[in-house]
Amino acid sequence: MDKNIRNLITGGSGFLGSHLAKKLLDRGEEVICLDNFFTGTKKNIKELFKYQNFEFIRHDVTEPIKLEVDNIWHLACPASPIHYQYNPIKTTKTSFIGTYNMLGLAKRVGAKILLASTSEVYGDPKEHPQKESYTGSVNTTGIRSCYDEGKRVAETLCADYQRVHGVEVRIMRIFNTYGPNMRFDDGRVISNFIVQALKDQKITLYGDGTQTRSFCYVDDLINGMILLMNSNYNHPINIGNPNEFSIKELANLVRTLINPNLEFEYKKLPHDDPKQRQPSIQLAKELLNWEPEIELKDGLLKTIDWFKNNL
């Protein structure tokens, strides 16, 4: 592979961006990390400055930028409900204007662009598991809509830039992902449970805990992301772990691994919270020869170790 590939990662100091940056740097490629630190942190990329081929630019993707790059990995957008609901208008702007700016850059310099989309485009799904052909069941005016609809319109922009301008796009629908470099306060279920358990607090379950999710360890996800960018596939594709667990099963596993004596505390289910979430990854298997390898328990042990060392 050409070692002189120049990569731009928007949201490069975030959870996924920092893992992707390290992986590309270890392959000998150049990485420009772009971030405004809304949810990303300097700590996530601290060790990357030792690489000669790493560069950091503090920048908000809602403002245009001129750079010469080969690949654009467009990950910039708050992705946890606490953060994307904090400033919902900014979230929608980041998804629309940020994607518009990055597509414009890709068009100008002839770069490939990968959009980090989301399983949230399926909303509260009526189809289970969710295939890429499913068009979703999304509330356009709910408290999650800024993110759900923001990512849907980002996908639309990618498809139209491809049709109208011939931009090479990759659209990756990411399902729940976890691992080191998650924020302690991001409100996602795995980080919530681990932090509460390590602090000997009650573990909070919303609703009755029967809602389901599928959890993909970050290393598996980054491998899928790179395979997709290097493929010729330009339609949406699910990348996630199809093993489905109820939230209560997850809570029990975290409790067992950290402190079996902790109690559960039940709270009201948030509005528009999906009841089921499970990817069909048939396309990823067939087209990318990709499927996740790390089991939930093994991934949780690695994640818990990281939280213990960083909390």
pLDDT (tens digit per residue) in 271-284: 767 788 899 999 99
Catalytic status, residue 217: no
Strand 169-174 and strand 203-206: the pairing is unpaired
pTM: 0.95
DSSP 210-260: --EEE-EEHHHHHHHHHHHHTS---SEEEES---EEEHHHHHHHHHHHH-T
Return the pLDDT at 272.
64
What tokens were used for 276?
A: 């089921």
Question: What pLDDT sits at residue 107?
Answer: 98
- State which fold the 6-179+216-242+279-293 domain adopts: Rossmann fold (3.40.50)
Domain ranges of the chain: 6-179+216-242+279-293
Out of 84, 100, 122, 147, the active site residue is 147
Residues of the chain scoring pLDDT < 70: 1-3, 272
Per-residue pLDDT at 119: 94
Note whether 261 and 200 are within 8 A (CB): no
- pLDDT for 112 equals 98
pLDDT score of 1 = 45
- Asked if residue 117 lies in contact with residue 173, where contact means CB atoms within 8 angstroms, the answer is yes
CA 272 to chain centre: 19
CA dihedral 150, 155, 160, 162 (to 10 degrees): 140
